Amino acid sequence: MADGVDFSIIGLDALQGKLLSISDDLRRRGGRAALRRAGNVIVDKAKENASRIDDPATGRSIAANVAMRWNGRLFRTTGDLGFRIGVQHGAVLKKHPDLSENAPTPHWRLIEFGTERVRAQPFMRPAAETSTGEVVNVFATEYEKSIDRAILRAQKKGVAP
């Protein structure tokens, strides 16, 4: 049911050369911050798409529940950095009394994937698919900036990175 969207960055020779010169700890810290900034591009587009679908009469907002979370399980098992982008609060809630803007929106899946009687109006998948170029550019620039800062900090301390 849930097939992920994976990105692979190839051809960033200058960035790869800098990566070899810094320690693993600095690489992860800068990579996580850069990955978060790149993920925010997708989150912003998903919120924008969801706000077009949201029904103001219900009070609940799917756009307010779009969030990005650190994928700790992926990091613990493989050591890879990763964030998950999705809609908070799960899918099944029975008669939840809260009708505020940030209240649970279990109906988002019905809108995203459709049903046998209602056509799908995807807002998450297009957000990821249409912003791939921008995500890669943001990640590369932010990661390179963080690596440059790490190299400068190491040089100021007089320690080899």
Of 129, 91, 93, 84, whose CA–CA distance to 113 is shortest?
A: 91
Query: Which residues lie below 8 Å from residue 5, measured CB to CB, with a gap of 6+?
Result: 125, 128, 129
Enumerate the β-bridge partners of residue 85.
68
Query: Which residues lie below 8 Å from residue 144, measured CB to CB, with a gap of 6+?
Result: 14, 15, 18
pLDDT at 90 > cutoff 60: yes
Rounded average pLDDT over 71-75: 91
Burial of 105: CB neighbours in 10 Å, binned 0-12, 13-18, 19+: buried
The ranges assigned to domains in the chain are: 13-153
pLDDT 10s digits, 20-56:
666 666 667 888 999 999 999 999 999 999 999 887 7
- Give the per-residue pLDDT at 154: 73
Percentage with pLDDT > 70 across the chain: 75
Residue type for position 23: S
Q: 């056509």: which residue's tokens?
A: 119
Of 76, 85, 69, 67, whose CA–CA distance to 28 is shortest?
A: 76
Q: What is the pTM of this model?
A: 0.76
47 CB neighbour count, 10 Å cutoff: 19
Q: 């809108």: which residue's tokens?
A: 111
